[in-house]
Amino acid sequence: MGDGELGPEAAWAPRVGVDGRKFPGAARGGCHDTLVRARAAGFDGVFFRTVLDMSPRLDDGELREIREHADDLGMYVEAGLGKVNPFATPEAPELRAAGGGDILLGFRRMMEAAARIGCVELWAATTNYQLGYPGRFVWDRFRTDVVWSEQLAATRRFLERLRPIALDLGVHVNLETHEEITSFELVALVEAVGPDVLGIVFDTANPLQRLEHPRFTTERVAPYVRQTQLKDCALTPVEGGYRFDLTSCGDGVVDFDHVLSTLARTAPAVNLTIENQESRDDFPGPAPVTVLPIRDPEFVASHSDLTVPEFAAFTSLVHECGPRPAIPARFGHEEAMDAVLRSRDHIRRSAASRPMAVPA
């Protein structure tokens, strides 16, 4: 992801990995087991969501063993931090605990521990998805105790406090295109705090929950993408709006040819990590059901940056793409593994035909 003019095109051969929290069986097997099984399944790396997932105590020896194991297997390892919205961090007490009660110190310790094992691209996100609440209240964007603009302002202030730490350690804090935040808002945060310390983790499906068209989102975030979480989704008209369901990559509405051809130009060194739909064997209970309430005026009005052409293109996805493959009645270990392997194959096929611009 170097700067400077681009020279002749070359073949692009990105590494394709998998989410270390949701890969089938990961919730039961631990980091070393996940690395071995991911390698056996043909993946090139594992994206452990936070460095605390790798070692809850941030033990240097434990972290080095995981790093060395990945190196022995020829795999990349990526990691992250946690939620950076001060109104969301109380829901993640492990972040405060990492600093012995001082949450800023907790982030510093996580960043230092990750940097010591060569993980310098670090995932972060703004809030949580509130499973089980009705309508717009599944997204913290619509909290009634603190408005979204105040949450964004508090997030910016916290990121500004992380900036000197990131500069000192040579790391990037990369904000995910998470369910509750628009890509317009993410780009504004990155540009305000500085792309020398902030980047974007491009989740390819989440922005559709903010009524964005995948092609438009890709163009907005591409200059800042440093990590990925690739997934696809289907949009189905239902009473009250559009139902949002995760699918294997290639089975939904995301145009991965466009996504990957763009990243091959703007972020040729980026790893392509698949965030698969989790197995109900690993995460028992009903799968989340998300409906975008497009007839709710407050929901629609919250997307003030969205243009009429983009919203029109978004709604056309629902009607032009036709029916999606049926979601299995049971989505256990075998079904989840089949889905993530199909995603792997689709991403590899699409990436293989992308030319890459290289520095002159």
pLDDT tens for 230-263 read: 999 999 999 989 999 999 999 999 999 999 999 9
Q: Is 276 part of a structural domain of the chain?
A: yes
Of 149-163, 204-218, 245-259, 307-321, give the lowest mean pLDDT range: 307-321
Side chain identity at residue 321, one-letter code: C
Q: Is 141 part of a structural domain of the chain?
A: yes
pLDDT for res 4: 37
pLDDT for res 322: 65
pLDDT for res 287: 77
Token pair recorded at residue 354: 């992308």
As a whole number, the mean pLDDT across the chain is 93
262-277: pLDDT as tens digits: 999 999 999 999 999 9
Q: Over 60: is that where the pLDDT of 179 sits?
A: yes
User: How many C-beta atoms lie closer than 10 Å to residue 29's C-beta?
Assistant: 15
Q: Is 252 part of a structural domain of the chain?
A: yes
| Strand locations in 113-262 (E) | 121-125, 172-176, 198-203, 225-229, 232-238, 241-247
Q: Is 1 part of a structural domain of the chain?
A: no
* Phi, psi of 246, deg, nearest 5: -70, 145
109-119: pLDDT as tens digits: 999 999 999 99
Q: Is 264 part of a structural domain of the chain?
A: yes
Q: Over 60: is that where the pLDDT of 352 sits?
A: yes
| DSSP secondary structure letters along 185-226 | HHHHHHHHH-TTTEEEEEESSGGGGGT--HHHHHHHHGGGEE
- Give the single-character DSSP code of 341: H
pLDDT for res 2: 41
Q: Could you tell me what percent of the chain has a pLDDT over 70?
A: 94
Q: Is 259 part of a structural domain of the chain?
A: yes
313-330: pLDDT as tens digits: 999 998 876 666 666 778
The answer to whether residues 287 and 280 touch, using CB atoms and an 8 Å cutoff, is: yes
pLDDT for res 6: 43
Please state the domain count of the chain: 1
Q: Residue 127 is part of a domain; what is its CATH number?
A: 3.20.20.150
Handedness of CA 101, 132, 282, 254 (dihedral sign): negative
Q: Is 170 part of a structural domain of the chain?
A: yes
Q: What is the mean pLDDT of residues 274-289?
A: 89
Q: Could you tell me what percent of the chain has a pLDDT over 90?
A: 88
The answer to whether residues 272 and 286 touch, using CB atoms and an 8 Å cutoff, is: no
What is the Cα 157 distance to its own chain's centre? 22
pLDDT for res 329: 72
Q: What is the mean pLDDT of residues 93-109?
A: 97
| Residue 3 confidence class, pLDDT cut points 50, 70, 90 | very low
pLDDT for res 355: 76
Q: Is 172 part of a structural domain of the chain?
A: yes
Domain that holds residue 269: 6-359
| Residue 132 confidence class, pLDDT cut points 50, 70, 90 | confident
